[in-house]
Amino acid sequence: MTRKNFSLLIFILVLFGFALWSIVPFNAKLLGPNGLRLGLDLKGGSQLLYEADLSKKSSSITDEEAMSAVIRKIQRRVNEYGVAEPMIQKEGTDRILVQLPGIKDISRAINLIGETGMLYFAEQKFDETGKPEFDEDGNPVFKDEPAKAINKDGNKEELTGKYLKRAWQDLGAYNEPLVRFEWDSEGAYLFEQITERNLHKQLAIFVDEKVISAPVVQAVISDSGQITGSFTLDEVEDLVTQLNSGALDVPLALIDQRDVDATLGADSVRKSILAVEIGLILLLLFMFLYYRLPGLVACVSLGIYGVFLLAIFKLFHANLTLTLPGIAAAILSLGMAVDANILIFERVKEELRAGRTLGAAVEAGFNRAWPAIWDSNVTTFIACIILFWLGGTFGAFMVRGFALTLFIGVALSMFTAIVVTRTFLRIIVNTRLVTNPAAYGVKT
């Protein structure tokens, strides 16, 4: 055994050991919460597609910056809502795809995600005689713009949720749900001036241009306050989440909503696993019976390939989601890995029939099969990139999952066919463990 082959063998074994170690702690569950991250089609849940109105963004930021900020805030809202492993990603230039596996109350989730969450205060209107104005229903009328005050730099500034330090749930004197909030230093400075000039007057609290409450200011307040109203516990919790996540930089419109039944996903998983088991058994039998020793080596390489693929999904858990098309792509890439081995072994058999020695036949077989393997796989890579781009552009997340899984699987198949299989065959040939051509599928 040459030093190079020995080093490659050690590298493969160490890499295989690490990959095996990363996927073993599944708590006897290959799929599910302790295993791989499942997509909506396998776990069930809801998918929401939003369109952002970029015409209403601030002129000081670009479209890309506005979309990134909205995605970050949606991520915080969904995480606080308690959805396990949500996936939120940009689709095209102005769309956001939100996948919520296992979600139950979809209406509440839609309200939580889509609401802008803009907090501000408005002062009560008074007529020329100093009397408060009321509408036809007898409700007080408030000014159309947020209350302003002089900031520390001497400029007039609106008091909005951007100065909010934090908000939290609480109970009032009669156990009614309410929201308490705390300003940062600049917000406290503005709030103190606003409450001082509105002492014993109503000050309306708006969230997304809706009056939440309009309490009478009983004292001058600076750094904190509270929002009361006819709230349920869920409404208070959602309001706190919206305020703490910050106001969305642009309004969102829900343009598509889809629900996926979890029982359909479970049935799909069961049938997919059965198909994989049957296909693998037939594949391994064919490789071993037709190609003999090289076929056995290929089977071992395919086992290593499977461990590597599962390890990638486990290690990159946050960015890779296994869907039903993803499973199909993994099976397809497995077939391409077999195809690469078949090209190599057929070349080896041709060289042996031409009278070459075993070592020379193995090397020539790999070298002459490589151009065909490279061309076919590069073509597949290009197709995967196009599918991934088109899937992102048109919001087809299952197409993206298929393309990404196929890309990873084909790249791994090239590695196992060219590096793993070649190293094992070189070691067998160099150590002269098996020298009979019949063991390599060639009749003497």
* Nearest-angstrom CA–CA distance, 258 and 49: 9
Of 395, 170, 416, 155, nearest to 300 (Cα)? 416
- Quick count: other Cβ atoms within 10 Å of Cβ 144? 8
Q: Is 60 exposed, middle or buried (0-12, 13-18, 19+ CB in 10 A)?
A: exposed
Report the relative pairing of strands 87-91 and 95-101 from DSSP bridges: antiparallel
- In order of their start, the domains of the chain are 3-39+261-440 (1.20.1640.10), 45-115+252-258 (3.30.70.3400), 119-237 (3.30.1360.200)
> 85 falls in which pLDDT band (50, 70, 90)?
low
Q: What is the mean pLDDT of the chain?
A: 78
Of 206, 324, 175, 178, nearest to 261 (Cα)? 324
Q: pTM of the prediction?
A: 0.59
**In this structure, what are the phi and psi dihedrals at residue 88, rounded to the nearest 5 degrees?**
-125, 125
Asked if residue 119 lies in contact with residue 207, where contact means CB atoms within 8 angstroms, the answer is yes
* Higher pLDDT among residues 409 and 113, named by residue: 409
What residue has token string 């890779």?
320
SS3 286: helix
* Nearest-angstrom CA–CA distance, 71 and 76: 9
* Higher pLDDT among residues 230 and 152, named by residue: 152
Query: pLDDT tens, 120-129?
Result: 778 888 877 7
Residue 382 has pLDDT above 90, yes or no: yes
E strands along 22-94, which residues? 45-52, 87-91
Query: pLDDT tens, 296-330?
Result: 998 999 889 888 988 887 777 545 666 777 778 88
Residue 223 has pLDDT above 70, yes or no: yes
Of 77, 103, 75, 79, nearest to 89 (Cα)? 75
pLDDT at residue 33 in the model: 46
* Nearest-angstrom CA–CA distance, 34 and 22: 12
Lowest mean pLDDT among 41-55, 73-87, 218-232, 405-419: 73-87
Helix residue ranges per DSSP H, 182-261: 185-197, 233-245
Residue 178 has pLDDT above 70, yes or no: yes
